[in-house]
Amino acid sequence: MEKILVTGATGQIGSELTMALRNRFGAANVVAAGHSRPPLSHLRQSGPYCRLDVRDAEAVRQLVEDYQIDTIFHLASLLSAVAEEKPRQAWDINMNGLLNVLEVARVHDCAVFFPSSIGAFGPGTPAMDTPQDTIQRPSTLYGITKVSGELLCDYYYHHFGVDTRGVRYPGLISNIALPGGGTTDYAVDIFYEAVKNGHYDCFLDADTQLDMMYMPDAIGAAIQLMTADSQKLRHRNAFNITAMSFTPGQLAREIQKHLPGFTISYRVDPVRQVIADSWPRHMDDSAARAEWGWRPCFGLPEMVKDMLEKIAVKLDKS
């Protein structure tokens, strides 16, 4: 990787991935491209930034040519809950945007990272120790675009030789970027409310178990996969990866170890609860561990401790 483009750079993953890439490969070599969200100041000031609608194929092509891009981290998409509200827009952004990126990558010989999700699975998928290769019949528009994206990336690899790679992210937890409309957003919101108000109304049921990951591990996984030996990758699009699996109730109890007065109640959102119930409880990530050495650094206790410390400083509550 010498010249890198990050689409969706102002989102939850992109805002942190961009900075990690700039730190490793040089700020001038990593172009951040965003659309709807205003960029964080450090994102704009630390290196090249531009506005980009990934649905505009000509704009994508021009950007890749202007900056002589050789690697694209394609993160631009609508997330699960938002996609259910805006299915046509979600298909347009998630699928046509990906197709535009893959076409430009084919012509200009770029590698492409495409993040899939636990949303790519569905009610018929084994919920515990979900296999790397298993039935994928998602019941959400978001999940459908993720499965389609995995297959489309595979197609461009097998038919055109585009170096496509991806992971299936679990729910992601960050102390920097705010959530953007995902079903697992409660696992970020809960920390802000715990520090600010000492109470959280959760939109998922107390016993809803889902795979999760702290953002430093998510960022590390993307970079590690894209720098891995291509000859050792069998699955490519996309690898199961996970770091921890817990319920809202378990997360609340871990927070209470640090904030004993914290309380939680449950005001279930039927739409997001149905989505969560269709996803795996815990994925088997042995393929990623074997093929490119994936290992997470943060478990639940380590993540909770670090999140509370960082959020307290951020909110000036330390």
Question: What pLDDT, on the 0 to 100 scale, is given for residue 180?
Answer: 67
Q: Which of 49, 142, 156, 186 is catalytic?
A: 142
Residues 129-155 as b/e (b if ≥16 CB within 10 A, e otherwise) read ebebeeebebbbbbbbbbbbbbebbbe
pLDDT of residue 316: 85
Number of other CB atoms surrounding residue 207 within 10 Å: 10
pLDDT at 38: 67
Q: What is the pLDDT of residue 182?
A: 77
| Ordered per-residue pLDDT tens for the chain, 318 residues | 899 999 999 888 999 999 999 999 999 999 999 987 666 677 888 899 999 999 999 999 999 999 999 999 999 998 877 888 899 999 999 999 999 999 999 999 999 999 999 999 999 999 999 999 999 999 999 999 999 999 999 999 999 999 999 999 999 999 987 766 678 889 999 999 999 999 999 999 999 999 999 999 999 999 999 999 999 999 999 999 999 999 999 999 999 999 999 999 999 999 899 989 988 999 999 999 999 999 999 999 999 999 999 999 999 865
The CATH number assigned to the domain holding 257 equals 3.90.25.10
Q: Does residue 204 share a domain with residue 142? A: no
Same domain, 229 and 294: no
pLDDT value, residue 84: 87
Query: Do residues 48 and 67 lie in contact, with contact meaning Cβ atoms separated by under 8 Å?
Result: yes
Q: Say which amino acid occupies 67.
A: Y
Whether residues 140 and 205 share a domain: the answer is no
Judge if 149 and 162 occupy the same domain: yes
Q: What is the pLDDT of residue 267?
A: 94
Q: What is the pLDDT of residue 177?
A: 76
Distances (CA, A) of 71 to 1, 102, 212: 6, 11, 27
Q: Are residues 205 and 219 in the same domain?
A: no
- Indicate if 99 and 159 belong to the same structural domain: yes
Q: CATH code at 149?
A: 3.40.50.720
Omega within 30 of 0 (cis) for the link into 238: yes
Q: Indicate whether 30 and 118 sit together in one domain.
A: yes
Q: Is the entire prediction scored with pTM above 0.85?
A: yes
Same domain, 85 and 151: yes
Per the structure, the complete domain to which residue 86 belongs is given by 4-170+214-240
pLDDT the model gives residue 44 = 80
Active site residue 142: yes
